Structure 1
Amino acid sequence: MTVLILEPDGFPDAALDRLRARHQVLLGPDAPGAQDAETVFVRLAGAIDAAFHARHPRLRHIVSPTTGLNHIDLEHFAAVGVEVLSLRGRVDFLDHIHATAEHTLALVLALVRRLVPAAVDVAAGNWNRYPFKGRELHGKTVLLLGYGRIGRMVAPLYAAFGCRVQAIDIVPGRVPLELACDCDEVLARTDILSVHLPLDVTTTGFVDGAMLSRLPSRAIIVNTARGEVIDQEALLAALEAGRLAGAALDVLWHEPEPLDAGLRARAAALGDRLLLTAHIGGFTHESLEAVENFIVDVFIDATGR
C-alpha cells in the first residue's frame, strides 16, 4: 500500500527500510501522490480530522507514536472504519522511554533556578549573579497529579533531589500507600504541582481555579501531560495576580497552534515566571528512534494479519 510519513525529519532509517520492503513510502505532505495514501504516520504537527480525511480519502490506517491522541479525531475515524495504531496501552515498551520524565525535572530546575534568563543575560555580555537568585528542590513538597507511567518515573527523580513526594490518581488504588495522600490537605503545603494525568473527558480542566486557589503563593506548576488538563485561563490569571510563583508548561491548549496574540502578550508580561516549551518532552534522539521503530513493527504486524 501507499504509506505517507507526514513528518519524515529524524524518522529512523531502519524503520524506513522495513516499510520500503513492503510498501511504497512517501516522505512529507507535499510528496507526489500523498493524497492517495492509505496509511499515514503522524506525530503532533497537525490535526488529523475529517478535513484531513477529505484530503486523503483512501486512508485505511493512521499510525502515531504517541500515547495521547487528542490530535486525532478518534470518533470520526472509528465511524468510517479507519484503524488508529498508537502507543496507548503499550506499557511494557513505554516503561523504557524516559524522555518526558527527564524533561519534567529539566523544566522544574530551569524555572526554580532561573536558568533561561541567567543564560540570556550572560549571552548579552553581562556577568552578574545577583538578579538570578534561585531556589532549591531539596526539602520541597511535590504533589504528583497522576501516577501512571510518567508519574511513576518522576517520583524517584524528585526524591533523588530530596523532595517530599506524594501523589493522587484518578484510578483507585494505583498510588502506593507511602505516597498516597488527601489532596485537599496536601495542596495547602505543596511547593511543586507536577501534572501527569492522561487527557479524557474526566480530566479536561482537572486543575481548575478552585484547585489553584488552594495552593500557596510560593507554589509552581509543571505540566508535561496535555495542556487541556489545566484550566489555562485560570492558571494565567493566578500567575498574573501573584497567587502562584511560576509555571513550566510543555503543553498548551489548542495545539498544534496554541500561541495566539493574546497568549504571547501575557507570556511576555509574566517574563521568567512562565516557562514554555513546544511539546518537546518526548522529543529526543533516543526516544524518537525507539518509538518509531516500535510503531513501525506494530503497523507491520497489524497489516500482516
Structure 2
Amino acid sequence: MSASRPRLVRSVRLPAAVEDRIREEFTAPPPPHTPLDTQALFQLAEETKAQVMLVTHHAAINAAAAARIPASVQLIATVSVGLDHLDVKAIRARGIAISNTPDVLTDCNADMAMLLLLTAARRAAEYTALVRKGWGRDLAMDEMLGMRVTGKTLGIIGMGRIGQAVARRARGFGMTVLYNNRRRLSSENEEGATWVEKLDDMLPRCQIVSLHLPGSDETDGIVDAAFLSRLPKGAIFVNAARGRLVNEDALIDALRSGQLAGAGLDVCRNEPHPDPRLLALPNLFMTPHVGSATVETRTEMGMLALDNATAQASGKPLLTPVEG
C-alpha cells in the first residue's frame, strides 16, 4: 500500500474531526448520507480501487461476502470492538488484514450499562410516560415504587474491560459485585468483585444482573427461561452487549409475570426493528444501540481506525490487529 494518501471508503459518516482527517490524509469519496450496506460498500470500493474499508455493523461481511471483497482491499478496519458482523476467518483467508477499536469504548459502554441499570431499577420508562401524559395527580406513598440499588448485589456476566468498568462504577453505588467469567481474574483486575465459577450458583444471589459477553454461536440465547427463573423474583436485567444473547420470548414472559421487575436494554435481536411486544412493556427501558454514542468516544473510535489504516499504508504493524 502506498504511504501517500491511501484510498479509503467508509460505510457510514463519521464524526466531524474524523471526516476532517480523512479529507486531509486519504483519498476518499464523500461520506454517505445514509449508511451503506455490504453490496453498496463493495461497489464503491471497486469503483475507487480502495485499499482500506472502514466498516460498522451496517456492512456485515459473512463468509459468502468475504469472497466478493474487491481485490484492491488490503485492510478492513471496523469502527467497533465487536466482531460478530465479520467472518474473521474467511476475510483473513483472503489475505486481508482486520483491525478493530478496543479500549476506547470501555467507559461509555460502562456508563450506558449503569444508565440502563438505574432507569430499570427506578422505573424511568413508566415515570417518563406518566409525565408525558400530563402527570395530573399526586402519587400515593406506595405507588410506582422502584428498587434502591444501594446495597444490592449485582452480577456481571463477562468480566472483560467493560465488565470491570461496570464493577468500578457499581462500587460507587455501594453495591456488592459478583462476576462470572471463564476464569478468575487477577485480584488487581477484579475491581473488588467476587468470582463465582458457576453461573447457576451466582444468579440466585443477584438482585441485578448485567451482560457483558460477545455475541457468538456459543453465547446465542444464553439468557433463556431457565436463566431468568434462577434470579430472585423482582430482579433487574440489563443488556448493553449483544441482542443475540437473549431469548426474547423468555425475557418478555419474565417481564410480564413479574419474575423481572424491569429490564434495561441497549440492544435487541432484530435491530433496528425491535419486537413490538418488547416495546409495549411498561417495565422496559430501551435505547437504540448507542452505548458508544458520545462525541468523544465515536471520535476516538474513528481516529483509531484511521491510525490502523495509516500504519498499514506505512508498512508498520497495526495498532489493534484482529487475529483469527
Superposition TM-score, scaled by structure 1 size? 0.84
User: Which stretch has the larger CA shift, 294-303 or 99-108?
Assistant: 294-303
Which residue does the alignment assign to 1:23? 26
The reply to whether residue 179 of structure 1 matches residue 190 of structure 2 is no
Which residue does the alignment assign to 1:285? 295
Residue of 73, 96, 103 corresponding to 1:82: 96
In the TM superposition, what are the counterparts of 1:1-305 in structure 2 within 5 Å?
A: 1-10=6-15, 12-13=16-17, 15-26=18-29, 27-28=31-32, 29=36, 33=44, 35-36=46-47, 37-49=50-62, 50-51=64-65, 54=68, 58-88=72-102, 94=103, 97-128=106-137, 130=139, 132-173=144-185, 176=190, 179-181=194-196, 183-255=199-271, 257-259=272-274, 263-264=275-276, 266-269=277-280, 271-305=281-315
Asked whether the 8 Å contact 1:147–1:169 carries over to 2, the reply is yes
CA distance in 2, matches of 1:96, 1:47: 20
CA distance in 1, matches of 2:138, 2:305: 46
Greater relative CO (CA pairs within 8 A, separation 6+): 2
User: Number of aligned pairs?
Assistant: 292
Percent of aligned positions that are identical: 29
CA distance in 1, matches of 2:268, 2:59: 14
CA distance in 2, matches of 1:190, 1:173: 20
Asked whether the 8 Å contact 1:95–1:149 carries over to 2, the reply is no
Give how far 1:223 is off: 0.8
Asked whether the 8 Å contact 1:41–1:62 carries over to 2, the reply is yes
Give how far 1:144 is off: 0.8
Which stretches of structure 1, 4 residues or more, deviate above 6 A after TM superposition?
none
Letter in 1 for 2:107: H
Give how far 1:52 is off: 8.0
Superposition TM-score, scaled by structure 2 size? 0.79
Asked whether the 8 Å contact 1:105–1:157 carries over to 2, the reply is yes
CA distance in 2, matches of 1:95, 1:6: 20
Question: Residue deviations 1:138-160, cap 9 Å, x none?
Answer: 12111111111011101121121
Asked whether the 8 Å contact 2:151–2:176 carries over to 1, the reply is yes
Letter in 2 for 1:80: R
Asked whether the 8 Å contact 1:251–1:278 carries over to 2, the reply is yes
Letter in 1 for 2:111: E
Give how far 1:279 is off: 1.0
CA distance in 2, matches of 1:63, 1:95: 15
Gaps in structure 2 of 5+ consecutive residues: 1-5, 316-324
Give how far 1:72 is off: 1.8
Gaps in structure 1 of 5+ consecutive residues: 89-93
Give how far 1:297 is off: 0.9
Asked whether the 8 Å contact 2:207–2:234 carries over to 1, the reply is yes
